[in-house]
Amino acid sequence: MRAFVIGNAAIDETISVDGLPEPGVSILGRIASRDLGGKGTNQAVVMARGGLETILVSAIGDDFRSATIREQLAEEPLDARLSSLSGITTDFSMVLTTPDGENSIVTTTEAAEALPLEAALEVLREARPGDFLVMQGNLGTATTEMLLRAGREHGMVTAFNPSPLRPYFDSLWPFIDIAFLNESESKSLTGSTDRQAAETLHERGVRQVVLTAGTDGAILSTAGGEFVHVPAVKAKAIDTTGAGDTFMGAALASAALRGGMLDARAISDASAASALTVARRGTRRAFPSRDETCTDIRRLRGEPAGWEGKLVPVRQSLAASQPRMFFHSLP
Ligand code: ATP
């Protein structure tokens, strides 16, 4: 299985502040990091470092930020297919972080919204049935829908993270197999943050719903009626930027490397991975490294049989659960 991530690539400018600013108030900040980011890129980097063959399709402008994106992507074990668009500003995010790990993010999407549909469709023609198509909310409305439809036509498993929130998401659910939502996305899109939220999305056609809730952990719900809560792994959070992207990327990589859909094991792997991310500053530099993942990946790949080799129903795997970490070391 491979993952095709079609999404944004951006530069994250992270500024440390004592507290998030109130409207109309000017505050002082200190530049904490300047790092490769963008939800699509983040998820692709985590999947690729996890050992899953990953293709990233993204658009950038032709400016100083695009050069940095190219350089930093070249350091990652993924296949980046970038459309370079002249006259377009490369996307960037302004991330404000507080000492207790809270953050506020503003992202520009000029390049992402200009992603040429035909370029992305051409890459998708390489996909095989069962490959993952992973998307988020940064691309244009029509592009997002057409790509999800195309993914379905190729027999791919479609995974979607409805962020940043857009009014058009409601029309996409019938094309989505797996959805990852945090609490505010869940509240805005379904009116609830618990089992009812998952039920609402299942009714619209989503087969697996993952609801993340920060330190309260995450829930996996399947259309077949399985419902499981996995606690967060304890961590000293200093910057939660990218926690959700790490979670989604690690969960999908864990499932794909074992050849199937999400299960409790994938969710606990994702909790371990995101605990690593929140304990470090920055975006890409905070994600679990290849070294941190490789021990377990070798084990996942090397074991032909046994429960790691074959996904089992969620309840059963939870009952068997001594959830071993996907990532072999934690801070
Ligand atoms: P972000 O926008 O900060 O990237 P998010 O709002 O999309 O994150 P969350 O629900 O906050 O997503 O976090 C995703 C997962 O990351 C959680 O389910 C949890 O496993 C892990 N996580 C987040 N914050 C912490 C924390 N402080 N300590 C340990 N794990 C955490």
Residue 328 is predicted with a pLDDT of: 38
Residue 41 is predicted with a pLDDT of: 98
Q: Which mutation among 161, 183, 230, 247 tests ligand 1's pocket best, with the greatest number of atoms within 8 A of CB?
A: 247
- The minimum-distance atom of ligand 1 relative to the CA of 103 is 3
Residue 296 is predicted with a pLDDT of: 52
Query: Encoding tokens for residue 59?
Result: 């658009």
SS3 content of the chain, % helix, strand, coil (to 5): 40, 20, 40
> Per-residue confidence of the chain (331 residues) as pLDDT tens digits?
999 999 999 999 989 999 999 999 999 999 988 889 999 999 999 999 998 999 999 999 999 999 999 999 999 999 999 999 999 999 999 989 898 878 888 989 999 999 999 999 999 999 999 999 999 999 999 999 999 999 999 999 999 999 999 888 999 999 999 999 999 999 999 999 999 999 999 999 999 999 999 999 999 999 999 999 999 998 899 888 899 999 999 999 999 988 889 999 899 889 989 998 999 888 899 999 877 765 554 454 444 333 333 333 333 333 333 333 444 333 3
Query: Which positions ≥6 away from 282 have C-beta within 8 Å?
Result: 12, 14, 32, 33, 35, 239, 241
Ligand 1 site, residue 105, Cβ cutoff 6 A: no
Residue 171 is predicted with a pLDDT of: 93
Residue 282 is predicted with a pLDDT of: 81
Nearest Cα residue to atom 22 of ligand 1: 214
Residue 204 is predicted with a pLDDT of: 96
Q: Which residue has the tokens 């094309």?
A: 175
Ligand 1 site, residue 97, Cβ cutoff 6 A: no
Ligand 1 site, residue 214, Cβ cutoff 6 A: yes
Query: Encoding tokens for residue 162?
Result: 């409805």
What is the spatial distance between Cα 150 and Cα 23, in angstroms, rounded to a whole number? 42
Q: Which helix (H) or strand (E) holds 79?
A: strand 79-84
The length of the chain, given as a count of residues: 331
Q: Which domains does the chain have, with CATH numbers?
A: 2-20+30-319 (3.40.1190.20)
Residue 107 is predicted with a pLDDT of: 87
